[in-house]
Amino acid sequence: MTTHSPQTRTGIEFAADLIRQAKHAVILTGAGISTPSGIPDFRSSGTGLWSRDEPLEVASLSTFRTDPSQFFKWFRPLASQMFEARPNSAHLALAALEKRGYIKAIITQNIDILHQKAGSKTVIEMHGTMQTLTCTQCYHKVQAEPYIASFVDCGEIPHCPKCSQVLKPDVILFGEQLPQAAWFSAQREARGCDLMLVAGSSLEVLPVAGLPMQALDRGAHLIIINNTPTYLNVRADVSILDDVATVLPAITERVLNG
């Protein structure tokens, strides 16, 4: 059993009370919720992906268009980690809250599908998804699963079954706009919620980082759970600087069982 500090325990109790009282609670998750599942984040000093690679050189739309093999070479180990990863206790806690009706939607900056693997149903993927691939020539869309093993195991670049051109994972690269439908859905949830809980996000990547402000501007409560402070901690009703993988299960336990 995890032992939390008195400050964290107080935050857990307050957060649970706010969730129980909320009529429309929404979750915003970032990379920090998936690092306990073995998936590296992008910006942590020394361990983040961008501390080792230049993002515009390996993960931009222009790189993919001019040299897709460079992108796939960089992406292969990350794809392997994502497809082998399993939901951790934080993902499972949010799925339990959704199942019981305490939260209405999860807005995620992650592409790892772990919320869905945990059982969450209403997941808005702001930076795309690993579940599908789209042809760069004829725009035919396919499920990623049939192509995963050959790519991860052998490095085989996926090609369209219709026109044989390269298939691009439906993840948002640098230089691409966010998926319009997802962005509209996220804004609708942010503007319509009475509570937003931010979990595992440093709130550094716009425009998603602005969603909690949209909620605050309309009178919603705000809970932030992250290892490091964000620009909105001073505005949050509850701010917990701790591990989401232990804090979210503790909050869920209190919400569901008192």
Q: Show which residues are catalytic.
A: 127
Question: Could you give the CA distance from residue 58 to residue 75 in angstroms, rounded to a whole number?
Answer: 8
Going by C-beta distance under 8 Å and a sequence separation of 6 or more, which residues neighbour residue 181? Answer: none
Backbone conformation region of residue 245, classed left if phi is above 0, alpha if psi is from -120 to 50, else beta: alpha
Q: Answer for the pair 54, 209: CB distance below 8 angstroms, yes or no.
A: no
CA 164 to the chain's CA centroid: 31
Calpha distance 249→159 (Å, rounded): 41
> Cα separation of 232 and 216, whole Å?
10
- Given CA atoms 211, 219, 121, 227 in this order, what sign does their dihedral have? positive
Which residue from 94, 100, 88, 130 is spatially nearest to 112, judged by alpha carbons?
130
Environment class of residue 44 by beta-carbon count within 10 Å: exposed (0-12), middle (13-18) or buried (19+)? middle
**Cα 202 to Cα 230: distance, rounded to the nearest angstrom:** 5
